[in-house]
Amino acid sequence: MDVSPPVSQWGSITDVPGLRVGHAQRIGDGWLSGVTAVIPPPGTIGSVNVRGGGPGTHETDALDPTTLVPTVDAVTLTGGSAFGLASAGGVQQWCLEQGLGFAAGPPEDPTSILVPIVPAAAIFDLGRGGDLSARPDAALGYQAAAAASTVTERGVIGAGTGALAARTTLKGGIGTASIKLPGGVIVGAIAVLNALGSPLDLTTGTLLGSAFVPPGLPRPITPSPAENASYLADLSAATAPPAANTTLAVVATNAALDPAKARRTATAAHDGLARSLAPAHTLLDGDTVFALATGAVEVDFPTIIAIQAAAADAVMLAVMDAALAATPVDQTSFGGLQAPSYLSRFPSAAP
């Protein structure tokens, strides 16, 4: 299995202190799917915003700012469509074993009952390895949570293992990025690129979000016209119908945000999908963005606005990073898919 280098040119979600990410996946013998677990420090505030027309989610209603529990113990991103949401149970069990969860016991001993809060969202990758029944379960979710570390691996790994993009013509995967703001505030993101839409500017072949990269950060390279002409010719000849998709993201910050402000941050972060994918938020996508706030840095009102803007930038960069980190997959020997990556089609665009 090819795994891209652990360091993104735009940073990582684990640049936010206390954040850890773990992946587990299976490839071969009909499998091409996996799970990614994002583990924040205890007491992290969480929220979510769902914009896609075909979401597969678990426990997202619990993240409404008007509900009882404001904190999140983990976020599960998974393949397997709605079936794969079972993997959240494995992440929840791992959290319970670590003593994480909402204290729901009696007043004299509230921690005698712990209920880990583990929202989840799924991409559609069913059958891409050749076996429709090969989808993540609780055991794979537990494995992802147990593997969590401050090193964020990227590419064809975890929930991005079976991901595709651009109407199934390019391999998707996992990408990550971070933005550093004044005062020690960090905003990071991880994305699972599995979009109906394309991450490319089809006029040039460059990544669509390139024009929006913040000043001072590296911009993606525009590939050669010959490579783009070849891709466009193959794209026009493609006959595969649009498949169910979904791009997922988790955006995190070390700032102190209440649940309502975390919700607004998740909402603003969707702009990053709109800048890096065309189209986004369709009926065939279940685009979902989670927001996490660890609360380590107190912030004023202008900084809250800057965090929301940075959330969109971080998600956009993470989507582009996913395209750059993806590697080609050839599962034809298992009756599954054959998918080139962006850099296998556009090698002149390599950073």
3-state secondary structure 275-318: HHCECCCCCCCCCEEEEEEEEEECCCHHHHHHHHHHHHHHHHHH
Condensed to tens digits (0 to 9), the pLDDT of residues 39-67 reads 999 999 999 999 999 999 999 999 999 99
C-alpha to C-alpha distance for 162 and 36, rounded to whole angstroms: 12
pLDDT, residue 335, reads: 63
Q: Assign 234 a pLDDT band (cuts: 50, 70, 90).
A: confident
Long-range own/partner contacts, residues 39-43 (CB < 8 A, 24 or more apart): 39/73, 39/74, 39/95, 39/145, 39/148, 40/72, 40/73, 40/74, 40/75, 40/252, 40/292, 40/294, 41/17, 41/294, 42/71, 42/73, 42/100, 43/71, 43/294, 43/295
Q: What rounded mean pLDDT belongs to the chain?
A: 94
Tokens of 218: 């590296």
**How confident is residue 6, by pLDDT bands cut at 50, 70 and 90?**
very low
The pLDDT value recorded for residue 239 is: 64
Q: What is the average pLDDT across 232-247?
A: 78
pLDDT at 1: 39
pLDDT at 2: 41
Between 219 and 3, whose confidence is greater?
219
Instruction: Please report, rounded to a whole number, the percentage of residues in the chain having pLDDT higher than 90.
Output: 88
pLDDT-wise least confident of 72-86, 130-144, 231-245, 252-266 = 231-245
Residue 26's alpha-carbon distances to 149, 204, 246, 299, in angstroms, are: 19, 35, 20, 42
User: What's the whole-model pTM score?
Assistant: 0.96
Tell me how far CA of residue 263 lies from CA of 61, 103, 147, 290, 345, in angstroms: 12, 23, 28, 8, 38
SS3 category, 19: coil
pLDDT for res 150: 95
Question: What are the Cα distances from residue 193, in Å, to 264, 285, 293, 299, 331?
Answer: 22, 11, 23, 31, 19
Q: Is the pLDDT assigned to residue 167 strictly greater than 90?
A: no
3-state secondary structure of 264: helix
Query: 2-11, 102-111, 296-305, 329-338: lowest mean pLDDT where?
Result: 2-11
Domains and CATH numbers, the chain: 13-346 (3.60.70.12)
Torsion 344-345-348-351 (CA) sign: negative
Q: Is the pLDDT of residue 4 over 50?
A: no
268 contact partners, CB below 8 Å, separation of at least 6: 308, 309, 311, 312
Segment 259-278, tens digit of pLDDT: 999 999 999 999 999 999 99
pLDDT of residue 7: 62
Quote the pLDDT of residue 334: 64
